[in-house]
């Protein structure tokens, strides 16, 4: 292969990559006039900013997952308490229905329940 053609092809590839990079990196007011160095510097700073945002987002995800696990445990605990309260309530209810069966209410008497 001809070295001049390879060199021209590499330069064309580099120009294409730099143009793509311009589309990805926010250039602000310097969008019109930039050097390859300034574009690469801005790209590096942009990548660092994105990495920092990613680290913060991952930290926030971990924090939210911990909070979710904590709330899930609380919900399960409340569910178990509810089952216990429901079972106490149903046993009280069945005791009441057993004691009420066959007996007439004695509201006006001083003795209360007959036995």
Domain residues of the chain, as ranges?
Answer: 10-26+34-87
Angle at which helix 36-100 crosses helix 3-24, to 10 degrees, equals 40
CA gap 115, 113 in Å, rounded: 6
For CA atoms 35, 39, 44, 46, give the dihedral sign.
Answer: positive
CA gap 105, 101 in Å, rounded: 10
Compare 72 and 31 and report the one with higher pLDDT.
Answer: 72
Asked which of 28-32, 50-54, 85-89, 97-101 is least confident by mean pLDDT, the reply is 97-101
Please say if the pLDDT value at position 65 is more than 60.
yes
Is 102 in contact with 114 (CB distance < 8 Å)?
A: no
Please say if the pLDDT value at position 101 is more than 60.
no
């Amino acid at each position: 292969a001809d070295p001049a053609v390879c060199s021209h092809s590499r330069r064309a590839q580099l120009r294409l990559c730099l143009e793509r990079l311009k589309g990805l990196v926010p250039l602000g007011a310097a969008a019109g006039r930039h050097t390859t160095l300034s574009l690469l510097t801005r790209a590096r700073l942009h990548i660092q900013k994105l990495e920092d945002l990613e680290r913060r987002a991952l930290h926030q995800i971990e924090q939210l997952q911990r909070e979710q696990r904590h709330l899930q445990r609380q919900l399960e605990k409340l569910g178990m308490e509810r089952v216990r309260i429901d079972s106490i309530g149903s046993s009280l209810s069945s005791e009441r229905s057993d004691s009420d069966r066959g007996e007439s209410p004695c509201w006006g008497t001083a003795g209360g329940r007959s036995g």
